[in-house]
Structure 1
Amino acid sequence: MNYKDTLLMPKTAFPMRGNLPNKEPIRRQDWEERNLYEKNLERTKGRPLFILHDGPPYANGDLHIGHALNKILKDFITRYKSMAGFHAPYVPGWDTHGLPIETALTKKKKIDRKKIPVAEFRQMCADYAMEQIDNQRDQFKQLGVRGEWDNPYITLTKEYEAAQIKVFGEMAKKGYIYKGLKPVYWSPSSESALAEAEIEYQDKRSPSIYVTFETSDGKGLLEGGEKFIIWTTTPWTIPANLGISLHPNLEYVVAAVNDEKYVVAHDLLDQLAEELEWEEVKVIKTFKGQEADKIVTKHPFYDRESIIMLGDHVTTEAGTGCVHTAPGHGEDDFYVAREYGIDALCPIDEKGYFTEEAPGFAGMFYDNGNKAVTDKLDEVGALLLLKFITHSYPHDWRTKKPTIFRATSQWFASIKDFRQDILQEIKEVNWYPHWGETRLYNMVRDREDWCISRQRTWGVPIPVFYGEDKTPIITDETIEHVSHLFKEHGSNIWFDWEAEKLLPEGFSSEHSPNGIFTKENDIMDVWFDSGSSHEAVLMNREDHVRPADVYLEGSDQYRGWFNSSLSTSVAVTGKAPYKTIVSHGFVLDGDGRKMSKSLGNVMVPSKVLKQLGADILRLWVSSVDYQADVRISQDILKQVSESYRKIRNTFRFMLANLADFDPNIDAVDEADMEPIDRYMVYRLQALIADVREEYDQYEFSSIFHQVHNFCAVDLSSFYLDFAKDILYIEEKNSNSRRSIQTAYYEILTSIVKLLTPIIPHTTDEVWEYIPGVEEESVQLTDMPKSRKVEQFGQSEQQKWDHFMNVRNDVLKALEEARNDKVIGKSLEAKIKITPKDNETKQVLDMIPNLHQLLIVSEAIVSENDTGAKEYKHVLVSVEKHAGEKCERCWMSSHTVGENEKYEELCTRCAHIVEEHYA
């Protein structure tokens, strides 16, 4: 007889290799054909609503790995919530206006936008954006992200733009919108104003100069001829200088150096003397800044005055304590000059070139002006020192080129008017990570106004009309009418129709006695677009779900979407648009470097999917601490693949050992299960409780590590290993065998459900092979709930936990015996275990078939073994078992040969063969 034929060996068609790149697309197509997403929504209808509101990615270009991290994290949440008692639809969105799309058309498609009618160019932008959406949508779906892909929200749609106009109108009605002249971030490369959220800082090499301004009227404090020293890294702004700011409470000195008298802050004198290499310095006068108010100096090379002003923005952190003040090129400069009735001078045009208001430099690009202005200062003897420094400088985050401050007439949202309301709402939000609250709070606390106008073409028009006297007209009537027109025709009509046609019929205004109106040509900041989504999307749903449960985006969105959404929502409703903020870091390469094409370290999601599959990328997302910056590389993905294989093999092993198990017939009542099986079911309940709590806290990496450890340690290294002796060897319907299968079944179905939000392709595949399941897909099931295990209390848990510690001692002893060549495989061993304390003795005494759990041929609990080695909980001695090896179970036994018919078998195996296979 071939004894192998008498063994109940594992059987399953579930493949060992995932072959994910080839199988996942087929599976996703099957999901779509079976309408699994819609079926799930129908299944969860009537449950409490959970809304994760999607922050719109920009519709331009292929997805990068940061997009994958973001969308996969969102998918974890919505999939989990739909399995955890909620109705959790997911509506993806796209941000579609702005400069990158204009640039793509002008550069890639060689479109000259200035030679094309505005409305025609805008339609080309819209068409391009929709092409990009189709491309990105396919790529997002390839990641296994589930949602309403055929019904996303898109910021260029008529309905969205109409809602955005209403948000603008409501803010204007409350007095938060105004037009004013002030310095704003200006991008010469984009020819447009920028908001703070559109600024990023990069290192820049700049000239650092010290310049003198000679006193012409000392107002009785100074004699005249003294020279105030200013320091600046933007020499090109000197033509716009109208004054010098001192701090009213700082102490200033007149310092005699050679034949000159210089005015600087007292606290900076020594540092300045070293910088300018002054050898002999004599302080001849000291005074407070406030005493110098309105002293008059002469501009270094123009025939005009530069007045001394007082401002609290002056510090002694760097420079001279005398601050060059050009109100057309600095926010602090602008405000301090306004206090003195001095208007801003801004001799730079929208492209960054000097105008005629800067004699001697007109027509020159501002950056080239640095050298020209410095040469002029040197020529007139006003330049004390020139050197170069590298410092952090604001750049346009789209074009990556430097920005300037430039005073222009812009539309603003006055954040300061409702800042306290925003700060209060920030305190009411849940933050993951917790430092997000402080970060956004500090940003809002220091924010004055939000520049919302842009001098571009592709965007939502600012719905403002002007009367004949140039007064802006924004009324409830005009806003409602424009919103209605946009909803019916789209915003292109703003550029196609004359102002009179865009106004309500019969509209009149005291500002236009002749009935002649004009319209604003600027568009809104794209952050106003996306920041209006709480109105355009959340409030346009049937269920009106503002505030959303969660906003989840990258950490750069504290200054972006989190910020603009909060500002517009609090302005309109008084409340935050979200209950919870979750943010993630950036994706770096394996060495912690930023990814760039020049470094050749860019990891593209599409390539990962072709090489490894979406579930590997999703498992990587679950494995990292996403709230900080994360790393990815081929080596890291290889490690993730190993973890995936461990989990997949665990699934396969349990499936294979459930081949003859019908849960409706063969399951053992919990009260009749073997103690070790009840213990493993108990361990499972603890895992379920922990994992569900971690899902609720958005701690996905903890889920990954807990489940992986449970599969690798609790199951593979212990439970699945020792159970082979029972599953393969014992009689098919024995209680011990069916008890293990009952435990396997619950463990398998539970872990498959727990991992479904993370690796849905794989768990859906496993589900097809599990016997007895009723649902057509694991995606149409609910998360397991942790429960009390029958006849298993705290004392049983403590005993079994203690046994696992004793087992660790035995494993060490077996390993040492193997290294000493006492035994080969553990089944060759006979061990004696001497408990070191009464608790350990009680634990060992309670376990039947101790040798099976320890995977040895014989285990004796001894009271005294003088030759044993001491370990933490027990003394252990290991020797080679003196019996013969059973050809069926491979254990060494003294009973081999006792049955004359089956001489190669131990009595246990002989009995089973005789009863069932003879």
Structure 2
Amino acid sequence: MAEARKTETRAEKELRILEYWKSNQIYSRHKEKNASGPLFCFYEGPPTANGRPGIHHVLSRVYKDIYIRFRGLQGYHIPRKAGWDCHGLPVEREVEKELGIKAKSEIETDVGLEKFNDLCRKSVLKYVDSWNEFSERLGFWVDLDDPYFTMDNQYIEGVWGLFKKIHEKGLLYQGYKVVPFDPVMGATMSDAEVALGYKTVEDPSFTVRFAIKDEAFNKKFGEVSFLVWTTTPWTLPSNVALALHPEADYVLFEVETGDDILAPAGETAKASSAAGAKKEKGTASGKKSASSKKSKNSAAKKSTKAAKSHAEAPQAEPAKNNAKGQVERFICARDLLSDVLRTAQGTEKVLAEFKGVDLLGLDYAPLFDFAISDLQQKAHFTIGADFVTMDTGTGIVHIAPAYGADDLEVGQSHGLPVVAAVGLDGKFSAGPYAGA
């Protein structure tokens, strides 16, 4: 026997030890030995048994087993309760694939909730035997004969009971939070789930114009538009503010527009509001990451400071067209002017320079009106934000609190409304683009 053991492989040794444990009831005897010891309770964080176990499940089970074995050696009595996770998107998605469901609404219209729930119950236990064999082969000591199921009413009522206690203590509140959302699954996603598939890609970026509608400013400088850069044009109908960095330098310049520089002017969606589109790598929007410092100051509140600055600036002549094309006036960050103009670089005429703080509180015309007809809060004016960067874009960031963590935070600090023009299906919910 000793000679045979010297030549056995690791796999053969594992099987021999497992058979020894089983034939001699080592696990049961271990529990009996520690039955009178201090309690150390272990409820397994349950896997979902609608999919087969894989190599990635090994490590977590090994960690669990090592720790509770160590506690067992210390004399603790350990109920090792196995469990099965019967809820969540993996279960629903598996059944949806089998039924060919492409939208959550089809569950009610084509299948029925009762039938769908029954199929989910059956699906969640589809591979229980495979999981049990997997656990035994790993030598994972856990009570598989009396597991708990998260779909049992007792378990569900226990969770609701905890929520009730939390509510009674006044620890629940309702508010807004920007989170990743999967329109196919009809559910939010964790940052970790999104990070698994995150990659840098080349995507179109757009520069759009927002016409300033401030009587004092327009009287001084004529018709002027802010140039705003974005990689998420679908959020523009939800725009409620424009953010500038209070300490950055901005210029008001005049330039001849053309198809290769700027698109035709227009204040509504019917006329093109794009000042050009180009390919950009990444998903930047001229903002720092969510971990960057957020603007907490009150510089963005509407005041007379901007008007005073305008009064000190020289009077500008109204823009005039010439034989070459239409002349228009825009504002962008001074350091990004050459990037904004592209092929028109060198043809611009700078009329005035400002600090960002001098441009705060100016009203402007929204690009779209179908999502903002019933707003109860003031919107569409310039605010200050420290997360605006001068690395790319125009130095002016469009703010849509419904679709960005930074946007929501700065929007809440300025009392801006939250406008969600896109529904949970990932399509516009109203207006001329409804369903698109």
Fold shared by both chains (TM-score > 0.5)? yes
1:333 partner amino acid: D
Gaps of 5+ in 1: 1-10, 365-918
Q: How does 1:630-779 map to 2 (within 5 A)?
A: none
| 1:170 corresponding residue in structure 2 | 165
Q: What is the SS of the residue equivalent to 1:140? A: helix
Q: Aligned pair 1:161/2:156, yes or no?
A: yes
| 2:271 corresponding residue in structure 1 | none
Give the fraction of aligned pairs with identical amino acids, expressed as a percent. 30
Q: How does 1:196-595 map to 2 (within 5 A)?
A: 196-200=191-195, 201-203=197-199, 204-217=201-214, 219-220=216-217, 223-258=221-256, 259-269=327-337, 272=340, 278-300=345-367, 306-338=380-412, 341-357=415-431, 359=432, 361-364=433-436
Which stretch has the larger CA shift, 294-303 or 59-68? 294-303
1:311 partner amino acid: A
2:214 partner amino acid: D
Deviation readout 1:664-694 (Å, 9 max, x if unpaired):
xxxxxxxxxxxxxxxxxxxxxxxxxxxxxxx
Deviation readout 1:737-790 (Å, 9 max, x if unpaired):
xxxxxxxxxxxxxxxxxxxxxxxxxxxxxxxxxxxxxxxxxxxxxxxxxxxxxx
Maintained 8 Å contact 1:217/1:224: no
Q: Distance in 1 between matches of 2:30 and 2:203?
A: 59
Q: Distance in 1 between matches of 2:362 and 2:232?
A: 24
Maintained 8 Å contact 1:184/1:194: yes
1:202 partner amino acid: Y
Q: Distance in 2 between matches of 1:306 and 1:352?
A: 24
Q: Distance in 2 between matches of 1:94 and 1:277?
A: 64
Structure 1 residues 194, 316: closer, same or farther in 2, change over 3 A?
A: same
Structure 1 residues 237, 166: closer, same or farther in 2, change over 3 A?
A: same
CA displacement at 1:310 relative to structure 2: 3.1
| 2:32 corresponding residue in structure 1 | 42
Q: Aligned pair 1:141/2:136, yes or no?
A: yes
Maintained 8 Å contact 1:257/1:278: no
Maintained 8 Å contact 1:105/1:125: yes
2:124 partner amino acid: A
Higher relative helix content: 1
Deviation readout 1:357-390 (Å, 9 max, x if unpaired):
3x2x2221xxxxxxxxxxxxxxxxxxxxxxxxxx
Please provide the CA RMSD for this pair. 3.3
Q: What is the SS of the residue equivalent to 1:279? A: coil
Structure 1 residues 356, 12: closer, same or farther in 2, change over 3 A?
A: closer
The counterpart of 1:71, out of the listed 61, 69, 87, is: 61
| 1:99 corresponding residue in structure 2 | 89
| 1:125 corresponding residue in structure 2 | 120
Larger radius of gyration: 1
Structure 1 residues 28, 336: closer, same or farther in 2, change over 3 A?
A: same
Which stretch has the larger CA shift, 21-30 or 277-286? 21-30
| 1:794 corresponding residue in structure 2 | none
Gaps of 5+ in 2: 257-326, 373-378
The counterpart of 1:186, out of the listed 165, 181, 190, is: 181
Maintained 8 Å contact 2:51/2:126: no
Q: What is the SS of the residue equivalent to 1:290? A: helix
Maintained 8 Å contact 1:216/1:224: no
Structure 1 residues 77, 256: closer, same or farther in 2, change over 3 A?
A: same
Deviation readout 1:504-563 (Å, 9 max, x if unpaired):
xxxxxxxxxxxxxxxxxxxxxxxxxxxxxxxxxxxxxxxxxxxxxxxxxxxxxxxxxxxx
Maintained 8 Å contact 1:212/1:228: yes
Q: Distance in 2 between matches of 1:61 and 1:54?
A: 18
Structure 1 residues 82, 116: closer, same or farther in 2, change over 3 A?
A: same
CA displacement at 1:232 relative to structure 2: 0.9
Structure number with greater CO (CA < 8 Å, separation at least 6) is 2
| 1:113 corresponding residue in structure 2 | 107
CA displacement at 1:91 relative to structure 2: 3.1
Q: Distance in 1 between matches of 2:240 and 2:144?
A: 57
CA displacement at 1:300 relative to structure 2: 4.2
Q: How does 1:779-818 map to 2 (within 5 A)?
A: none
Maintained 8 Å contact 2:253/2:329: yes
Q: What is the SS of the residue equivalent to 2:29? A: helix
Structure 1 residues 226, 67: closer, same or farther in 2, change over 3 A?
A: same
